């Protein structure tokens, strides 16, 4: 397995990189929980899509291709950032050894999912709202796998939150995704928000949480940690600008004069 903890020290104990074995087959925590997260997220997307009475016949293929290209995007991003950990380019295919950059996977996965829902002429913003809820569920489950595989190393601490003497930042990420996901799911069920608002709030919540949690990494002071933080910050600003442009208040003229309207909340029908 690639040593992603190089330069951090040898005091960190790997939790449970291999979940279980059946004969010669080893089920790695990292890949197993990503698969489990995909299944849970996919079920949520399917049920929510059916609940909104949208088309579901293409969802299996859409989710499958989205996962595939997300993994490729995340793996290639990792390769270009940490190319010194690879002996040759073909080791990019060794997914079971770990090494993914979530941002690359999110961007590529979003573009893939958007392509398929537009191809099927689905309601884009409703579909993206649902996909965001599925992403948060899959993210939370996948992060537990990262914790067991010790994908990320937190700073040493004596806090009651410590696990093996360091901040368990992957657990923090999982818990944060669960909190944001539950709150947004309950809000989504009320149908009070305009289509697309849940999508933007989910991204803002996820990126903001990751930005703050990443500061607890042991290697945050390194160049890669700072670059990653800057990328998260840039994404937060970009998502906010897009959100404000699409759902921010508008000044409109009516019979009375100028009025300010907010399009975050769904317009009530008389």
* Per-residue pLDDT reduced to its tens digit, 28-43: 787 788 889 989 999 9
Q: How far apart are CA 91 and CA 80, in angstroms?
A: 12
The region, left, alpha or beta by phi > 0 then psi within -120 to 50, assigned to residue 12 is beta
Query: Is residue 5 scored above 60 in pLDDT?
Result: no
Q: What is the pLDDT of residue 66?
A: 92
pLDDT of residue 102: 79
CA distance 121 to 124: 8
Total number of domains constituting the chain:
1
Residue of higher predicted confidence among 240 and 100: 240
Distance CA 217, CA 197 (A): 31
Inside any domain, residue 205: yes
pTM of the model: 0.83
Q: DSSP letter string over 37-82?
A: HHHHHHHHHHHHHHHTT---TTHHHHHHHHHHHHHHHHHHHHHHHS
Q: What percent of the chain stands above pLDDT 90? A: 35
Instruction: Establish if 6 belongs to a structural domain.
Output: no
Q: Does 4 map to a domain?
A: no
Residues of the domain holding 37: 29-261
Confidence class of residue 255 from pLDDT cuts 50, 70 and 90? low
Average pLDDT over residues 71-99: 77
113-151 tens-digit pLDDT? 999 998 888 889 999 999 999 999 999 998 998 888 887
Mean pLDDT for the stretch of residues 43-52: 94
Sequence-distant (≥ 6) Cβ neighbours of residue 143 within 8 angstroms: 33, 170, 171, 173, 174, 177
Beta bridge partners of 163: 166
Query: What are the distances in angstroms from CA 220 to CA 30, 51, 80, 83, 226?
Result: 22, 42, 19, 19, 6
Strand locations in the chain, DSSP E?
18-22, 25-28, 250-253, 258-261
CA–CA separation, 204 and 194 (whole Å): 16
Cα 15 to its chain centre, rounded Å, is 22
Q: Which residue has the higher pLDDT, 188 or 77?
A: 188
Is 146 within the bounds of a domain? Answer: yes
Q: Measuring CA to CA, which residue among 150, 139, 134 is closest to residue 28?
A: 150
Does the residue 10 lie in any domain? Answer: no
- Output the six-digit token pair for 268: 């009530």
End-to-end CA distance of the chain: 62
Asked if residues 154 and 42 have their Cβ atoms less than 8 Å apart, the reply is no
What pLDDT does residue 9 have? 42
Residues near 13 by beta carbon (within 8 Å), at least 6 away in sequence: 150, 164
pLDDT digits (tens, 9 = 90+) for 160-197: 888 888 899 999 999 999 999 999 999 999 988 888 89
Query: Considering the domain boundaries, does residue 24 fall inside one?
Result: no
Residue 65 pLDDT level (bands cut at 50, 70, 90): very high
């Amino acid at each position: 397995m690639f040593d992603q903890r190089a330069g951090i020290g040898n005091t960190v104990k790997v939790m449970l990189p291999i979940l279980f074995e059946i004969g010669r087959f080893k089920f790695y925590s990292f890949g197993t929980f990503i698969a489990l997260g995909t299944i849970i997220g996919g079920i949520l997307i399917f049920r929510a899509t059916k609940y909104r009475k949208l088309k579901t016949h293409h969802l299996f293929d859409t989710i499958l291709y989205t996962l595939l290209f997300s993994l490729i995007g995340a793996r290639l991003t990792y390769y270009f950032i940490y190319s010194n950990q690879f002996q040759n380019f073909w080791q990019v295919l060794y997914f079971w050894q770990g090494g993914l950059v979530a941002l690359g996977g999110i961007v590529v996965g979003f573009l893939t999912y958007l392509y398929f829902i537009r191809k099927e002429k689905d309601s884009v913003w409703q579909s993206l709202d649902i996909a965001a809820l599925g992403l948060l569920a899959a993210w939370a489950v996948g992060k537990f796998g990262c914790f067991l595989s010790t994908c990320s190393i937190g700073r040493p601490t004596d806090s009651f939150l410590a696990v093996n003497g360091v901040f368990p930042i992957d657990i923090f990420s999982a818990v944060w995704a669960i909190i944001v996901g539950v709150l947004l799911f309950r809000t989504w069920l009320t149908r009070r928000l305009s289509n697309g608002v849940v999508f933007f709030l989910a991204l803002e919540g996820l990126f903001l949480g990751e930005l703050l949690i990443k500061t607890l990494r042991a290697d945050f002071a390194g160049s890669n940690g700072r670059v990653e933080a800057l990328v998260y910050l840039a994404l937060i600003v970009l998502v906010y600008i897009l959100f404000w442009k699409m759902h921010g208040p508008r000044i409109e003229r009516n019979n009375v004069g100028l009025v300010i309207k907010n399009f975050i909340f769904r317009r009530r029908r008389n």
